[in-house]
Each structure stands twice: as C-alpha cells, then as structure tokens.
Amino acid sequence: MITSVSAALSRVKKALAAYPELAAVLVAAIVGLSVQRPLAWLAARQGIDVLLAILVFATAVTIDPAALRRAGAAWRHLLAAVAVGITVLPALSWAAARLVAPGPLRDGVLTVGLAPCEIASVATTALAGGEAAVAAGVLIGSTLATVALAGPILTLEAGAASSRAALSPAGIMASLALIVALPLAVGLAARAVAGTGSPVVRLLATPRAQSAASLTALISVAALVALVASEVHLTASYAAVAAALVLFLLASALVGRALGARTTRPARAGLLLTTSMRDFAIAAGLATAAFGPAAAAPLGLYGIAVLIWGVALAGALRHRTRSGNPPSACELA
C-alpha cells in the first residue's frame, strides 16, 4: 500500500515538473482558497483587469510573426473556428448555465462560451505536435471577435438578468478593448518590429526576453487563478457549477473535433485544443465587467479544469503521433 502511494506521488511530481503551468495553477488555487480576504480586496479593485492586460501583452510578444504568416494558408479553418467560437460556444455555455441557480454563479458560467480560445492553447498545441501557427491565428481572431461581439451577445443571453446586472454592451466592449485588444495589438506590433526598431524594442526578440515574457505570462496566470479563487466560497451550489463546466468542456471538445475532421493532423490538433480550451482569465474579466467580481468565482474552477484537460490531451496526442497511431474519436473528445 505504502509503495503504491509513493509511486503515485512520484508520478504526480514528475507530471507537475513537466508541466509548470499546471503546477502553478494548482498552487495558486490553493493560495486563493486559503487567503481569500486580501486577494478578494485586490479583485474588487481592478486586480483581475490589470493582471489580464499584463498576461495578454506578455503572450503577444511571444508570438512569432512568421507563425502568423504560416497561419494564412489555413484561413478557411481559422474563420470557421472563430465563427463557431462566437456563435456555437456561447449557446453551449448558455445551455450549461441553466444547470446553475440564478445569481452570480450562473452569470459566471454564462461568460465561459464568450471567451476567446485559451492563451495557453498555443503552447499545448505545440506540445501536442500540432500546428502552433493555426492556434496563434485562432487566438488572435477569437480575441478580436470577443472584444467586438461579447457585449451584445451577453446582453441578449442574460435576458431578464441584464436589468439586475445593469449590463451595458458598450461598456463591456470598451473594457475588453482596453484590457485585451490594446495589450494584444501593442505586443504583436512590438514583436513585429523587434528586428528593425530601437535597441529597446529589438530586445524583445532575444531568447532571454522571450523567456522573461513566458515567465511573466505564467506568473500572471497563477495570480489570476489566485484572485479568482478568492471569490469561491464552496457550498453545495458548486456541484451544479462543476457539472455545468464539465458539460461545456466536453461539448466544446466535440465541436473542436468536428472542426478539424477534414484537415491535416497538426491543424486538427490546433483546432481541437483552441476550441475546447476557452480563456478563463478573459472570461473572468468579462464576468467582472458585466456582473461584478462575485461572478468570476466559477472561472477559477474552469481554469483549473481546462488546463488539466489541455495538458492531458496534448500528451495523449503527442504519444499517438510518435507511435504512428491516429487518436480515436473518443480519445480526442
């Protein structure tokens, strides 16, 4: 018995060492649940928005312009993924939210489908041996679509709740433009001119700067998980929240599988991962802007679940690719 427990712990340690994002998220979740009062104070004072802007900028400067040019060859699949992300997935999250009683928790679940693809899905696509350029293209396209359309769609979905939450589509769009679109545009532009700009800008293209940007993004993700987890007050109602989020995750994976059914295996991996992994941090920012910090609480649970899913799926896809056996439909979704 002791030997088996020791072996299990050893495997867990190896997995966490191999996937630092997962380790950081789990530790941050524990901290957020344990030290709630000061973190909740920060969350109520634009802490989520500030960290989100830092995360988006840090991620943008790590996207190689050459990868975006390669993504142009798969423009039809990119457009399909972006279109599905802003139409089908919001409908799925709306349906899943019906499992949760009306209130902040339901509002939080409602926003999951409106979020763009998870920023970490670019890394998990590369980990899976997929086409990271496709993932990067979907990331940018879905982020811009969220900024432009999340406000009106959320107002429509919220229905009668909109009067309680005082939803303002223009206000939500302005908030997302400031904390998501602007940092994304500045980061992409800075990286694009890194080879020709001033000495300070050229530093962005160096390996050390790229490592620093990746580390900054990881720290930002962990801090966001801690802030969001500080809003979680575990009760029986969270069972319905967990069920709704798992249902949405499985449904979005099936949609991602369908999107990549007629493309190459590398592109298929990118479409599956970007569609099934929605950005919990932007969803938290959206929930906070629309409904207040309490509505961001479910996004901490989703963030943990979606990162575990992405890392596990990437490992399975990589293993199948190396062994030469294509993954089955059940394994992919």
> Phi/psi at 278 (nearest 5 deg)?
-100, 150
* Separation of alpha carbons 143 and 139, rounded Å: 6
The answer to the question of residue 15 being in a domain is: no
Distance of CA 2 to the CA centre of its chain: 38
The answer to the question of residue 3 being in a domain is: no
The answer to the question of residue 16 being in a domain is: no
With a CB cutoff of 8 Å and minimum separation 6, the contacts of 83 are none
pLDDT tens readout for residues 154-175? 888 776 444 444 567 777 788 8
pLDDT tens readout for residues 195-221? 665 665 667 667 888 888 888 888 888
pLDDT tens readout for residues 185-199? 888 888 887 766 566
pLDDT tens readout for residues 33-83? 888 888 888 887 888 888 888 988 888 888 878 777 777 777 888 999 999
CA dihedral (330, 242, 216, 66) in degrees, to 10, reads 30
Residue 325: pLDDT above 60?
A: no
Number of structural domains found in the chain: 1
With a CB cutoff of 8 Å and minimum separation 6, the contacts of 129 are 266, 269, 317, 318, 321, 322
The answer to the question of residue 211 being in a domain is: yes
Q: In which domain, by residue range, is 100 found?
A: 23-332
The answer to the question of residue 271 being in a domain is: yes
pLDDT band at 8 (very low <50, low <70, confident <90, very high): low
The answer to the question of residue 14 being in a domain is: no
* Separation of alpha carbons 180 and 220, rounded Å: 14
* Residue among 239, 260, 249, 235 nearest 304 (CA): 249
Which CATH number does the domain housing residue 51 bear?
A: 1.20.1530.20
